Amino acid sequence: MRSLAGHLQLRASRHLSKRSAKHMDTTMLVQDIPGHEAKIRFQMQRNLSGGAKPVFGYTKPYSLDLTVRQNIHYKAHYCGLCFALSKYYGLPFRACTNFDSALLTLIISAQWPEPPLFREVFCPIGSHKKYYVIDSDELFMKLGSAFTVVMMDLKTQDSLEDGVRMARIPRFICGQAFARARSTLHENLFDTSSLINIQEYQKELESAAVGSKSRVSFDELAAPTGQGLAKVFEYTATLCGLPGNAKPLRQIGNAVGKMIYATDCLEDLKKDISKHRFNALETCSMVIPNPPTITAQAFEGLKYLSNRCQAEIAYALKQLELLRYRPIIENILLTSLGLYLSKFLTSQSAEASTSNHDRTGDIHENRAS
């Protein structure tokens, strides 16, 4: 029998051949059209200055540290994901577009055997001017949109189990789309049951922590998110025929997942407490009430977690073979994600006297030196 890597490589090669025959005359590579640079630059400045729809996630690039061309390429992946969601799952699913899914799509694209194809489109909910986006027919865009929908499936299921009645509506309306996304991933040899098992384990940990049956640490509660993202990132290496990337991507996914979990807990702290929802910081006795702020020990612990995870990411990135987009990915993982965590850590701590603006300046001074 053909190995997993061999099977995925065969699917990718067939897709590339089909793509070349279909789009060679109708699609342009951005890097091959310097005459359009000024036009795209203006378009990108408009897009990055606000956008026409809400965006979510903590892995947005720190655009000031990127070149105009790099910003263009990132936006092409982000907007391309939005168009892919609309094509494969319907217009309402554009609302699921988020920075974290765009990062996943970018990581696959960075390892893909051939450069992605771009096309010029009008956005029905954005500017009247045209956008350059990654073609939705790219296999990795189809998979990126499928992962996005599966994540929504898991999130709505989690909300339903938490007693949020409104979660029944999207689960009823989007049931067929959720099944189609799972089927797409299964066809490309990704087992979504592993993510379901991890989410169930997360719920078990939360129940144990709330019930005080055993002492559950914040690191233990953050671990499942890291494990889930590690599985997804590791899969991209096999998909793209780069098995040597599996280990570093697993390390990156694990560290990024923990940072995202910590950032989410910090951002939602006051809202979760006011609505009596589970929050790992409160459950682990890391919060001072009235008003809710994290303790000095929690501040230092989360700061250490951030530094440790970023060190792991930096080391793994050195081992990673990327065919393109390395500066964008490093910008997101080594600069932007840390800034988000630092921002919310500062805002929720009574001990922090340095503003997030000052922290941003410190990061740039350190990088310059």
- With b for 16 or more beta-carbon neighbours within 10 A and e for fewer, the 311-341 pattern comes to ebbeebbeebebebbebbbbbbbbbbbbbbb
d(CA 336, CA 306): 12
pLDDT in the model for residue 127 = 65
The pLDDT of 206-210, averaged and rounded, is 90
pLDDT in the model for residue 99 = 95
Q: Which region among 91-105, 109-123, 203-217 has the lowest average model confidence (pLDDT)?
A: 203-217
pLDDT in the model for residue 351 = 57
pLDDT in the model for residue 171 = 83
84: burial class by Cβ within 10 Å (0-12, 13-18, 19+)?
buried
Of the pLDDT bands very low, low, confident and very high (cuts 50, 70, 90), residue 40 is: very low
pLDDT in the model for residue 213 = 53
In this model, does residue 90 exceed pLDDT 70? yes
Q: Which region among 13-17, 296-300, 332-336 has the lowest average model confidence (pLDDT)?
A: 13-17
